[in-house]
Amino acid sequence: MNYELVYTAEADDDLEFFNKEQRRQIIIQIEKAANNPLPQNEGGYGKPLGNKRNMNLTGLCKIKLKKLGVRVIYKLIRVDKIMKILVIAARSDDEVYKIAYHRTNQHKLKSPV
């Protein structure tokens, strides 16, 4: 069930924030999730997002890298079998969700899953 990984330019920039070892670990986890990026309620790795503090993130999923304190937010485009990475950021309260909301609007990804 491999999905093609597509990183937004911003997500590529996000990845550069981390050191070499952290990037390696993040990429490994993203590639692992790409094998089954469906939401957890459908047997996949991604945790579905919904409304967070008046930000509608429905249709997006997240992967938590607990040891690194990092969250990866992505959009699953089922028709084209694409896992589009939107945000890779250290967890800091709701900041990662604000970034995801902004980028979703910027890339016009408001369509249903």
Residue type, 42: E
Q: How far apart are CA 3 and CA 35, in angstroms?
A: 6
Spacing of C-alpha 48 from chain mean position: 10
pLDDT digit string, tens, across residues 31-49: 999 999 999 999 999 999 9
- For the chain, the average pLDDT equals 90
Token pair in block for residue 48: 């579905």
Q: Could you say which of 3.40.50.1370, 3.30.160.100, 3.30.2310.20, 3.40.50.1820 is the CATH number of the domain covering 4-106?
A: 3.30.2310.20
Which pLDDT band holds residue 18 (cuts at 50, 70, 90)?
very high
Q: How far apart are CA 61 and CA 63, in angstroms?
A: 7
Angle at alpha carbon of residue 77, lines to 108 and 111, rounded to 5°: 40
Domain definitions of the chain by residue range: 4-106
Token pair in block for residue 35: 């094998």
Least confident among 30-44, 62-76, 87-101? 87-101
